[in-house]
Structure 1
């Protein structure tokens, strides 16, 4: 443990104790949780930072949207608005949040909503003329006022919750014992060549319970980069000068992927969910070609509407057992 963590460790014990007490009060019914008569799936994590929630939500939408009326409900992190709002796709990311705008842009027929109070948001969704048949809660593992019917807990391969501490000495939002609430645990951002022996070691480190299923996934990067009206093959960037712009928690996997593809670029890194200032936009406008993530593209496309802005799409790729995971989701939804 580093010297800084040692200094913060007493505060982590205090914060962790408060969160443990909170969880026990919910578990014993002293604090009440709302349950619903339709399938509610919660996607979340124990730690702060990027664990791959957005591509997981998109994977669930792709799986379910053909057969059910699906809605997503997010807080709308760092949005300028408040309360319940249905996303139309015409808003700016600043108004509704980058992830909800991304969901609506990619899946226009899916109902996408934001509300910092999830119980209120679900009530508003159910009051729509055509209410959803399935609700996916984005980043709601700690939102215990809602009792989802199915919990998906994500933890990144290089930063397992089992190896971390509670805030502020570590990055966990609650003690690792909270993982017991999960129906499934998915280790995300794994190397595609992950071997079975290492999977077993990770399962032991995570202390997966008998009633839980463990899955492993990696990031699958597209071979094409997308602009507003233009598509390029990724390899075309080998002969172009471009700047990579990221406002995500951990851009290292993306940077590594691009370098492994033989691309050379300048990287301008900003904090997660960064709202770009006018001065920063002015600087970016000087660049002829910009590559960014899909979430950052949602924030930048109205500010940099020219032909030089592109993003690299990603998807979740399961390392075996994809059918088992999808069958568990479908089985849960069919119960209703």
Structure 2
């Protein structure tokens, strides 16, 4: 009978005397200094990295204190790493002249990576509507995938939440509001930019998102021609006409050329027009007070003329 001793693998001395604490420590995530040129942006990352004043403040902080919170990345099969959280910190490091930044490397699948990426950014107060819209959409899709695979939305009590309900709960929004944000992703880029720039109000924008893309482009032209944006009432009628297949160029022009009630009750004077009549030192409040006084004098004069 042949001996099977040659199949026996002896443990090393280190393995024999290694404690559970040592083994657990070996599996803990560690912060590594990763070269910036090895960090690639997350695919379809919805959060914009802007070289604004906040970025300049971040650069100053990095120069003085370094990167206080490590970024999170995952290995890229094609080499290097895909950045999941820390795009603004990476840009700050580049502007500060650094070559590396501290990063935690995690093995995450696509859905788990999306959840970490969104959750790491979604609580920022200065998020643009477009950023929140695409972040909600990406997270909702990831939650749906996870729920389909392993029922991760079930609680210990056995109550299963819909993916959009779970997203709303985690975001601190109503389910309807989450869905309304996601509707913004259906806008063409020009209209979505107007929402970010507060040139197109949120509620009308949600209604406009139901228009076909060619209808949205037609709306852009009508807005430019009339030098106005749709009110909520106008946007709702545009949506209704579109759904009924009656949104012609003539119908859109007729709706957009309507005088809004709010505009009928409002008189607007541009500040550069008024500045010609006031000293440079006058504040807007002082200008307003002076205008009211002058109108009072004008009204009294008119009354005197009528009494004669």
Which TM-score band (shorter chain)?
A: under 0.3
TM-score (norm 2): 0.25
Higher radius of gyration, 1 or 2 = 2
TM-score (norm 1): 0.23
Q: Which protein has the bigger helix share?
A: 2
